Amino acid sequence: MINNTGLSENKSIIPLSLITVCNIILLLMRNYFVGNENHNFLLWNLFLGIIPFLIVLVIKVCADKLNSLCLFIGWLFWLVFYPNSPYMITDLIHINRLNEFVLYDSIVYFSLAILSAFWGFYSISLLYSIILKKSLSKSLATSTIIVSVILSSFGIYLGRVLRLNSWDIFFSPFMTFTTILTELLQMLENPDIYTMVLLFSFLQATFLFLIKEMKYAK
């Protein structure tokens, strides 16, 4: 089944998994030749970037047994972790241009960041098809994805600038909600929020559009 994001539910997981293994090997080779493991935090970030796909996979398996409320709760749970997927793009700021291995490091960072983002896009593809199947409403499924992209862009801001983690909402809910509410109330005074939300919403929308168009290109 191919949905409007252009990703195949049955075939995309195989190449993504193989590319994931290749990227991990690429990082390990970098560690071996450079002689340090300074960038191993990328492995953890990549794992976090794959979690949204795993969550949606569980939702998909249980979809027939879920009512609208459970599906909504599942979407919220997915949304808490989804920003981790495109978030890895911001890890590019850690590249040290003065390092003699800057070219190799740039390739490793960029490749892992795009890979993480595409795991997230795969989860969006599955989520779209689940909502479409349950509601039979294309407008609802599309609206859900648009809202998810915008909110996840705000989540990227919370993670990169304020250093909040997805699990903070479970272990430190009061602090997390207070921080989010404070940032929302200060949005008019902080253009950085608008900038990051707009840029990452545009970036995600662009990738999703290109995936769709390339899939159906003749």
Residue by residue, pLDDT tens for the chain (218 residues) are 334 444 555 567 888 899 999 999 999 999 998 888 989 999 999 999 999 999 999 999 998 888 989 999 999 999 999 999 999 999 999 998 888 889 999 999 999 999 999 999 999 999 999 999 888 789 999 999 999 999 999 999 999 999 999 999 999 999 999 998 888 887 777 888 889 999 999 999 999 988 877 765 54
Burial environment of residue 95 by CB neighbours within 10 A (0 to 12, 13 to 18, 19 or more) = middle
Phi and psi for 13 in degrees, rounded to 5? -65, -30
Burial environment of residue 48 by CB neighbours within 10 A (0 to 12, 13 to 18, 19 or more) = buried
Pairwise CA distance, residues 80 & 100, whole Å: 38
pLDDT at residue 215, as a whole number: 66
Pairwise CA distance, residues 120 & 5, whole Å: 12
Torsion of CA 75, 198, 2, 213, to 10 degrees: 180
pLDDT at residue 1, as a whole number: 37
Inter-residue contact 96 to 106 (CB < 8 Å): no
8 DSSP assignment = B
Residues 6+ positions from 171 with CB-CB distance below 8 Å = none
pLDDT at residue 6, as a whole number: 43
Phi and psi for 83 in degrees, rounded to 5? -55, -20
pLDDT at residue 2, as a whole number: 39
Name the pTM for this structure.
0.89
